[in-house]
């Protein structure tokens, strides 16, 4: 799994590509939280359209739990996925139930709108 983090105007842009790995996913959340804290960012757009396989429901639950437990302050996250990944909203529901606003969508317009930032270009 390859991860690229870019600080943009008012938010952190994260691009995820390759085969999904659960341990790397948990470590990626730690990097995202650390980067947000270091740069005083509270909004994250994760572009996960480059993942090569479907993420299991149990892994989505675990990623949301790790996200909720690790955040150090306010955080709002939009996760942009390939339409084939929209089989369940487990990560979104679990994170929201733990106080972290998350939106999982296949629409870039919806993702940027949820965060309240303008899309690039």
pLDDT at 62: 95
C-alpha 33/C-alpha 25 separation (Å) is 13
C-alpha 121/C-alpha 8 separation (Å) is 12
C-alpha 95/C-alpha 47 separation (Å) is 17
Split at pLDDT 50, 70, 90, the class of 59 is very high
Q: What is the 3-state secondary structure (H, E, C) of 34-88?
A: HHHHHHCCCEEEEEEEEECCCCCHHHHHHHHHHHHHHCCCCCEEEEECCHHHCCC
pLDDT tens for each residue of 83-105: 988 888 999 999 999 999 999 99
Q: Which residues partner with 50 through β-bridges?
A: 17
| 12 pLDDT more than 90 | yes
Mean pLDDT throughout 57-73? Answer: 93
pLDDT at 69: 94
């Amino acid at each position: 799994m390859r991860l690229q983090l870019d600080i943009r105007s008012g938010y952190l842009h994260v691009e995820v590509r390759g085969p999904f790995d659960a341990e790397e996913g948990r470590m990626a959340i730690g990097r995202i939280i650390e980067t947000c804290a270091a740069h005083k960012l509270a909004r994250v757009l994760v572009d996960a359209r480059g993942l090569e396989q479907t993420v299991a429901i149990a892994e989505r639950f675990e990623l949301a739990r790790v996200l909720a437990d690790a955040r150090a302050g306010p955080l709002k996250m939009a996760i942009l996925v390939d339409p084939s990944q929209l089989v369940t909203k487990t990560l979104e529901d679990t994170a929201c139930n733990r106080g972290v606003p998350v939106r999982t969508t296949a629409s870039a317009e919806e993702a940027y709108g949820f965060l309240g930032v303008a899309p690039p270009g």
